[in-house]
Amino acid sequence: MLAKQKILIVDDDVNIAELISLYLTKECFDTKTVNDGEEALAAFEQYNPNLILLDLMLPGIDGYQVCREIRGKSNVPIIMLSAKGEIFDKVLGLELGADDYIMKPFDSKELVARVKAVLRRFQPAPKTETVTVNIKCVEYTDLVVNLSNYSVLYKTQPVDMPPKELELLYFLASSPNQVFTREQLLDHIWGYEYIGDTRTVDVHVKRLREKIKDTANWSLATVWGIGYKFEVKE
């Protein structure tokens, strides 16, 4: 019997936390609720969740700082919850490493769909004893992006990346020199289940550039006024 996936719910509103727990429990998830930032960090270590639903406005250590500290040691998927709807808040959350952002009040079906979508993206490829035929991997000088096992090697060293950063890099690198608009990238990587804006793409490209630097052979290039491309130099 497969173990249930574990969701850590962090919200200072006890009623909201319990309601979210009820929604997810009905979908056969195991849940744990905590109500402040310090509890969240302690629960993260003890509970070892598969995903975290993290409210921004927490007493003591706020959600931004909790996200920052967890991202310093783990790539566990994080979905931020907030009544704030400003673009700045969304972008800041994504820059800190959140994988998605849901505004309150939210629909229960949308919440469950977002959780399942993020978990699907994060699932590593199953291990088998036979050779995998359709390995999704692109290789360039000093860069190997493997979508089959969600790994990146840059100058032979592994680079930790949340799922959507890696998927964005793979998508661009698998179509060298092809220009994609921000809308096309948003649609392909985040899909219909994600309601966001094109700044989400800019944030993820920025994070990619912080982790892998352009080389003489290739670069993650901006096409001004249009979008991005993975430029391979002849």
Domains and CATH numbers, the chain: 6-122 (3.40.50.2300), 137-232 (1.10.10.10)
149 and 137 in contact (C-beta within 8 Å)?
no
Give 108 or 89, the one with higher predicted confidence.
Answer: 108
Q: How many CB atoms sit inside 10 A of residue 117's CB? A: 19
Unique residue bearing structure tokens 């096992």: 149
Is pLDDT at 173 greater than 70 in this prediction?
Answer: yes
- Least confident window among 46-50, 101-105, 221-225: 101-105
The order of strands in the sheet holding 51-55 is 30-34, 6-10, 51-55, 78-82, 100-103
State the average pLDDT over residues 55-80: 89
Rounded to the nearest integer, the mean pLDDT of the chain is 85
Give the pLDDT of residue 35: 92
Angle of helix 163-173 versus helix 108-122 axis, rounded to 10:
60
Q: Which residues of 153-174 are buried (b: 16+ CB within 10 A; e: fewer)?
A: ebeeeebebbbbbbbbbbbbbe
> pTM of this prediction?
0.58
Give the pLDDT of residue 103: 85
pLDDT band at 131 (very low <50, low <70, confident <90, very high): very low
CA distances (Å), origin 124, targets 53, 76, 120, 151, 187: 20, 12, 9, 9, 22
d(CA 45, CA 121) in angstroms, rounded, equals: 23
pLDDT band at 21 (very low <50, low <70, confident <90, very high): very high
Q: How many CB atoms sit inside 10 A of residue 199's CB? A: 15
